[in-house]
Structure 1
């Protein structure tokens, strides 16, 4: 029999470990639940960072559980230790947490017993290799380990609050922990147990006993309901059972690393530490990127999108560090997708979308790198000559602001060269930049807003009646004119009015505010907009007749025509999102919207343009739903119930515990507080006006519905009639006439270009006698007036060929007012004098505020400062004369 020190664990794949864990707890009456999304419902965190996050409302007593026990394998992402990824054995951004949970059911004894049974009997770990830890004051857990499990007392480690006490925050539910460590080197003996020695010990299972509530003074009182929250790191257990030196060499990550190594044409196992670190970073980050995109995160400069973008950019940098200079992440991601396909089918389902998003973002970053790395290299070289060995913070900021080069990458590049970055200086430059951007807004008069804020702070509330009523009595509870609270306002005064109740919809959720009138026998106020400020509705308008006084009882009447238009556009927006999900990609999600009286605008996350034929299909589907006359149902319910029914929420929007759901049965169901038609037939017609991209990964569709469609078509009909009259053709013949005119124009343009080239050649021939001889070469530099860039190139080539061993530089300022430059060099000049046309003309163009380049024998450049052309040409001539002597 082998001794514990000779123990070799039975190999289990990562998939097998996950399955055995879940099956173990399912057999013990736990409800197996799917992993929650990496994008959590919890507004306090950007990403899902722990297995218990989806159960946090239960642990906090905010909702009851429909099951007493649960088990999950939860995808998690943490970036707080991102600099340690690849450098240590076990730090990751993406990892999986296996967990079992009890909601007021079992407690310490069962949790400890089952954790031990799972570890020793299912996974086969020798008991003498396992070391439990407990909170220093948790005698109960200590006794369970000693008396019920049989662990010798001297092997049970008591640790402090930092290691073995969990809390949700400064106050609230909390409790002690018990952790299980695996000992890689039991031969060192029990006298040398140091759980911080990660070369010997690895903590793989954490049991949290939620048994107390902590108040503001720090006092602990027992909870009425005690809960269990546990977590086993899948990657860590895989390292143990697969008998490898670190998490990265498990079957969960190593195939991804090997794919990257193959692209770089290197062997992971035999390369140096720095290269291995880069490969580990690539393996870890690509896993994270794949799962983030699968869960709906798109690259951006904010929040989750920035985390995803930062991870991808780190992959590119580490790829370049090991010699990969072309796009490669999609190849690596394909391996990560294959590994994730079985436990997380949504990754396989969205594979094309994931790869497309990665490809676009990687290409965009390569452009950023090309612009910024040359500048960074110069900054690093300059810094290495200084005594401080610290990159100036303003230099780092300029690199970020001018080239979009992330400061994190500047820090990493600095660290690789033994340098640091002055982050205080960077932050100061960033703050100065922000203050300058804000300066333009400092003249805005905020007094009216402050006056409204004072009314809101007084406790005044407005009751909204507009879902059911178009008109209702209302009392003036607040009145603002000229930026001040007033008691009365005469005719002609612009006012902001707060009412105790109102049928007017206040701008929210993309829908603009209602218009209408407030009136009594003596007073008439035209309402032009309604905004919401906290719990009050602010009616912006103008007193048309009489004197409006605080406390006046009015009749509030909305413009029903405008409301109907807004309702048609809002319901049409819901139908549009449903059609996009059905016909383009189920992952399409709303990124913003505008619901106005005359149009709608819908922004959505999508990595590609929508083809014209797709837009036509979408439009036809929406008009079909309209013609089918679906009833629209509105209901209020708990947000958990709404999501369980499949209601779509706007990504990033904050919702209360009770939400309003707009349901078009069989078509669309969304969380929405806006106003809608009662039946889709009320919309009438729907017409898409345009589809465009507004930022990376975000598209915009503008459309019209209801009466706005007729107005849209009338405008276009007038245009067609006008064109028909001008061209003297029938409306259906307009396109043919336009095609003919375009063809004629192209023919005329070709003739004009031919004439320009002939003129350029004729003009250039007259310059041959002005060439100067320098040794064995001819030099010709000339200003060609307003000659266009293409003709200038033709002239330069002809002159160089006629002059033979020569260098020709020509400049001009075409009609558009920008400088054009061309250089043509003979092969002998390139080979013997080491002059290249591309590099030469690029330097000359800088004198005109521009740049450019090209081949060694022929190159073009441009500039923005025409007045500098004579000086630039003189400099070019002198440089050629000096270089060719």
Structure 2
């Protein structure tokens, strides 16, 4: 059996079928052309119009490696050997050309001759009524009859829906444990068998009554799972440890200071989830999906939040997703070049969502604190399962985190109640899979087919009358909602801007005769503007007349920041480099963030010039003109477009004559003077060739200055100094602190040496060797190393010293110092102490004679030192 990399498996498959007359076609986008499907979930989906006779085939035979995403089994990701959200399906297709005999013959040849899978390890399944396929496997291929399993319609009959093209299928399974014999071949046992190749014989059409009639053209649709074949050929225990995913997992483990090989089961699950989901996330963003609360945008947001959540379980409290995404992009960019092309957009969207979610988690922590107080006040010793699930579902709190925090104050969590809520969600997810993942996006997409797209009035109006055409609670249509309900509202027309182009959705209120809704966010999906909010008072019903009113001060702040981003790009082009291009942005009421392509940092002098240029344009009061025109005309006039953005035939152009002209659908000030003032807050690099400027404008500058004025006044009071004297005073204090720190370090080192000198007498003699293992309380890592070296020198060439310390809560330091005689016995300090540190949840290493390591679990330090003592005793005695 061959041992091939994932890339070689992919290329070998495509080459094999190209040699059989198949045209190699590129992978289609994860955003399918079919508007009834949420995501590309199978290799055949791009060819669905061909199978339905709606479009001619590009060639009689085709082969592809198609990227796919499925989320119906998302809770199993990382827990089983081969559940994934993102996967690649290798397929060969016949559009009325060859049929069963060729498909079966070539699948067997590929498996047993090209990939060299042992024939006696393969088991075949066929549809129970497909005698033709059974005979081909038995008589033409020569598979023993007892290794051909006939199965029912649920397993071996494929259909695109209740009506339409369909047909029996045949699957090839690999047997990991042939030593168990052929007496019982239970293909449901995924510990023994893995289905890696599915051959669909599309030969019938099913009508509304369920009758099957032969198709005029018989088609072949196959799928071979790349990750599954990699597991087989690379002899790995699961898909995650193949070269298609494991480098991403290793990156996450390194960031968390973990070793995958020695990690416990729960830690490995979190690492696998991160490895899987990050692959899905980078491809979704590369294909143009942006995080939102609807449709495929919600799939993306959910995946990112699961990555962050599992990162927290690993101890990653700071943003880390961009670093892991870099590993995923590097791993797959050769096969999918658009990952490199969209590198900046991927990282910008990831960072934005991660920061947002971390803020959400903080709000969840506040809610959990309130729930704990309520439980304690009522005398309860337990947090409710519904509350725990709300924390999990809404705020991303893992149950384990809720339990851990609750235990600190003597409370338990109703796990059974939590699991009941989780099971209900899974049931909703399974039901949704039948109608969302495979057919339609859900209520909003169905609604979009029934009502006209929302008319946006917000370029000119901040208030308007409207009709409440749809009311949803938890994504499901309802006829009414009352005070306290979180709702999603669709109007026939609205002044509220829906989040897009980096500009956040508007806030405000929806008034009806019977109730009031506060709107917290607005998203666009399938042509509808969806207002997310809460019923503040009374009751609202579908089809009611509504008065929609923006939070005008918030809108004005957003407009000032959005127009400021246009001026910022123009100033950067004029002062720094004309080739600068936008890579992403965020515009809200409090600030703006502008990401741009630039190979170097912007100097402080250039930043000052940019800031001055923008404030000059603001003072000059340039009026804005907005026009809709053909995109060719806009480009001919010099309008700036965002790289990678998709535009229609007609575009909206926002022009501040003589200053800036851009394609933009956002809301803007009518005159630059309305911006008021502009202030750059920070300039940083966020990725290779990508810089970021954060800034504030208008009232946001006043808020910024108020905070800093308060800080300066407080520092002046503390230092008894005028504002202009503070820098010199801080410099003096820093110098004093450096001196004090040096003196403290020397004292710590002297203390460690003093403590260690008293340990020499405790050394254990083992033949020509002297072994000393000890715990030095409160000694930092540097001083611990000095003590270890000193002790080893005192014990001589046969000295072996292991020291451990807890310099601060949650941190373990370890040192190994071996004399030349010990090293000559084959013992290496770096390898030895690195393995011991894993007991404390850490790692480390160094030279053969001297090495340091660290960990996080201080409670395990005694066990780590005892293990070190026992292992060294055994190895030195040998």
TM-score (norm 2): 0.50
TM-score (norm 1): 0.49
Q: Which entry has the higher C-alpha Rg, 1 or 2?
A: 1
Comparing both chains, which one has the higher relative contact order based on Cα–Cα distances under 8 Å and sequence gaps of 6 or more? 2
